[in-house]
Structure 1
Amino acid sequence: MKTKISLAILIFCLGTASSLKCWKCLSREGKCPETKVEVCSPSQDACFFEIKNFTALSADTVKQGCGTLSQCQSYRDGYNGSLYQGMYCCSSDLCKSVNYNVNRKGSKNGVTCQSCIGSTAECGLNGPSEPCYGSMDRCVQISQRFLPGEELEPIIKGCGDSSFTEAMVEYQIGKDFAYVDQTVCSLSNCNEGFTEITPSELNGLQCYTCRDSGRGECTHDRLQLLNCAGLMDQCVDVINNANRELPVTIQKGCATESMCTRYLDIYRPLMRQDSYAKCCNTSLCNRAESPSAPEMLMMGTALASWLVLIAWK
């Protein structure tokens, strides 16, 4: 019996000794304390180095830990609105796959803010804090929840300048409610926590709703009716204008007026660089708008057929 136990302990120790070790922390420049080391499981064959930053906000975040090479290879690098995300991996003990430096403008201005991009667990009350520099003399917190399939990090915190002002955007597409809450404050570390918002009572406005996935959901004969609630007193169309000659409606629903008036500085930087929102404030006013993608295809086919007939004549 003792022999079996000793053998099991020996195997465990050998396994632990051969396991990959990675730095594990959430920081601004990827510098972990020496005590923050993670022993990877047998299925984890890489140390990951994930970078996130948000244009115009000092909120650079580097997350490190154990992962897999396949996770790194399938990671979607690049910009989503003004949010950049990138991941790098390496496969040796305590390796760093990239050197990352944050460029700071000016000198410290005496304000300290929570600086973090991530989940509520990572960036909640005890999120990491960093000193602010130069004209970035206020703390900014962006709490958000997007539509399914459009998920971004729920919290963005950092130092900002006077271009950041408070704003609230709420919108509902079908049964899915989403929002962006941007708060700005001037005291050190005043941007702690996370704002959770839920829609309130119905307000009497009714709008057409749809969400186009390329299957004709926003064609006129397939539009659904949606009863608006709370502060959402506008009917909205979200229009994709990647092809400026043929704008396409991709979403319809209920929204606050700020969805349209603050679109350029709130919603667009967070999500869609190639779209805009159009609002109206009477029930069912958002029916007639830019055609959906399938309707554009039908129109194009019909036009091509007509041109062929003209040519034959």
Structure 2
Amino acid sequence: MKFQVSLVIFIFCLGAADSLTCQKCLSKNGKCAKNEVEVCDQSQDACFIETKDYAGLDAGTVKLGCGDSNLCRRYQKGNRGSLSWSMFCCSFDLCQPLTRDVHGNGSKNGVQCQTCIGSAAECGHNAPTEPCYGSEDQCVQISQRLLPGEETEPIIKGCGGSSFKDTLVAYQIGRDFAFVEQKVCSSSNCNNRSFPVITSGQPNGLQCYTCQESGHGECAQDRLQVLNCTGVMDQCVRVIDRENRTVTFQKGCATETMCSSYEDIYSKLMGPDSFVECCKTSFCNQAGEHSGPQMLLMVAASAWWLAWMA
């Protein structure tokens, strides 16, 4: 019995000795303290470093830790709207496959803000604080929940300029409710707030057609569903292809802020390929559109391109 116990302990220690050790932290420049390390489990064969940036906002974030080298091969880089990311891996103890030089635009302006792109747990009250530079003298905090299949980082914090303003964008497609709340403040570290739950609210009397096209004709005229708009969502919307505006991606209810060219919030979130048309009366978003086979070809082409890039 003692021999068996000793053998188990020996095998455990041998496995621990063979495990990879990686730096683990979240920072702006990718530099971890000496004690910020983790021992990887047997399924993790690489140390990763992931960089994230948000266009127009000084919120750059570097995340280090243990990971799977397959993820680095499959998701080396990408972007969704204003958010971009890249990932690098290496396979020996405490390795760091990338160093990141951080230089502010201009000189320090005296304001400090939390800077972080990640989950609510990663970017909570204790998120990293960094100095702001030049005209980026406001602290910005963005919390968001997008539609299924459009998921992106839920929290973004950083230093921003005068173009960032308090904004709430809410929209609903079918049963799925999504929002983006942007808060701006001017004192140091003021973007350390909690993240309130945004709800859709009560019916407001407006009714809109709703659909979400996947290439199988969901947005065809005879398949549209009726959606009762709620809360501050007082617009009927049609999300269409920017180049071919007869092609519809989605229909539903939204706040006016989703429609404003000043905000241009949907393009900021999802990129330049889609465009939002809005109207204010019930069922006004029944514009004709291509659906089914033509849309399926577009979806298939996009899927092929993504597979080729992977």
Other-structure match for 1:152: 152
Distance 1:260 1:131 in 2: 34
Go from structure 1 to structure 2 and tell me whether the alpha carbon gap of 1:246 and 1:255 turns closer, same or farther (over 3 Å shift): closer
Q: Report the TM-score, using the length of structure 1 for normalisation.
A: 0.90
SS of equivalent to 1:120: coil
Letter in 1 for 2:260: T
CA contact 1:24–1:65 (8 Å) conserved in 2: yes
Q: CA RMSD in A?
A: 1.7
Q: Supply the distance in 2 between the matched residues of 1:37 and 1:52 (Cα, whole angstroms).
A: 21
AA aligned opposite 2:156: I
**Superposed, which structure 2 residues align to 1:74-223 within 5 Å?**
74-75=74-75, 77-192=77-192, 193-223=194-224
8 Å CA contact retained: 2:45, 2:67:
yes
Task: Quote the Cα distance in structure 1 between the aligned partners of 2:180 and 2:295.
Answer: 33
1:267 offset after TM fit, Å? 2.3
Q: Which amino acid aligns with 1:17?
A: A
CA contact (8 A) 2:169 2:258 kept: yes
TM-aligned CA deviation for residue 247 of structure 1: 3.9
Work out the CA distance in 1 between the residues paired with 2:52 and 2:122.
13
Q: Please give the alpha-carbon distance, in whole angstroms, between the structure 2 residues aligned to 1:41 and 1:113.
A: 35
Query: Partner letter of residue 290 of structure 2?
Result: S
In the other structure, the counterpart of 2:268 is 269
Aligned to 1:255: 254
Cα contact 2:210–2:251 (8 A) shared by 1: yes
* C-alpha distance in structure 2 between counterparts of 1:191 and 1:181, whole Å: 13
The two structures have a TM-score, normalised by structure 2, of 0.91
CA distance in 2 between partners of 1:162 and 1:103 (Å): 20
Q: Deviations over 1:210-258 (max 9, x none)?
A: 01111111110100000000000110011112xx255411110001111
Which residue identity is paired with 2:203?
L
| Aligned equivalents of 2:162, 2:264: Cα separation in 1 | 13
User: Which structure has the bigger radius of gyration?
Assistant: 1
1:294 corresponds in structure 2 to 292
Deviation, structure 1 residue 271: 1.1
The CA distance in 2 between the partners of 1:125 and 1:180, in whole Å, is 19
**2:215, 2:293 within 8 Å by CA — same for their partners in 1?**
no
Residues 40-55 of structure 1: matches in 2 within 5 Å? Answer: 40-55=40-55
Gaps of 5+ in 2: 297-310
Whether the 8 Å contact between 1:146 and 1:152 is mirrored in structure 2 is yes
For the 8 Å contact 2:212–2:251, the answer to whether it is kept is yes
* Distance in 2 of aligned mates of 1:246 and 1:172: 21
Report SS of the residue matched to 1:11.
Answer: helix
* 1:12 to 1:207, Cα distance in 2 relative to 1, 3 A: same
The residue that corresponds to 2:305 in the other structure is none
Q: Which 5+ residue runs of structure 1 have no aligned equivalent?
A: 299-313
Counterparts in 2 of 1:262 and 1:120: CA distance versus 1, 3 Å: farther
Task: Measure, in 2, the Cα distance between the counterparts of 1:136 and 1:164.
Answer: 10
Residue 70 of structure 1 corresponds to: 70
Mapped to 1, the partners of 2:196 and 2:141 lie a distance apart of: 9
Alpha carbons of structure 1 residues 245 and 292: separation in structure 2 relative to 1, 3 Å = closer
Q: Is the 8 A contact 2:116 2:123 kept in 1?
A: yes
Q: Structure 1 residue 263: deviation in Å? A: 6.6
| 1:230-249 mapped onto 2 (5 Å cutoff) | 230-241=231-242, 244-245=243-244, 247-249=246-248
CA separation of 1:210 and 1:198: change in aligned 2, threshold 3 A? same
Deviation at 1:84, TM superposition (A): 0.5
Task: State the distance in 2 between where 1:17 and 1:30 align.
Answer: 26
Deviations 1:122-154 (A, max 9, x none): 011221111111111110011111000000000
Find the residue that maps to 1:102 and give its secondary structure.
coil
For the residues of structure 1 that align with 2:54 and 2:101, how far apart are their CA atoms?
Answer: 15
- How big is the shift at 1:4? 2.8
- The answer to whether the 8 A contact 2:143-2:195 is kept is yes
1:181, 1:195 within 8 Å by CA — same for their partners in 2?
no
In the alignment, the residues of structure 2 paired with residue 226 and residue 262 of structure 1 have an alpha-carbon distance, to the nearest angstrom, of: 25
Whether the 8 Å contact between 2:139 and 2:187 is mirrored in structure 1 is: yes
CA spacing shift, 1:88–1:297, aligned 2, 3 Å: closer
* Distance across 2 between alignment mates of 1:268 and 1:36: 38
C-alpha contact (below 8 Å) 1:139/1:159 kept by paired residues: yes
Gap change, CA 1:70 and 1:296, over 3 Å in 2? closer
Instruction: State the shift of 1:40 in Å.
Output: 0.6
- SS of alignment partner, residue 191 of structure 1: coil
In the alignment of these two chains, the number of paired residues is 295
Displacement of 1:294: 2.6
Cα 1:297/1:186, change in 2 over 3 Å: closer
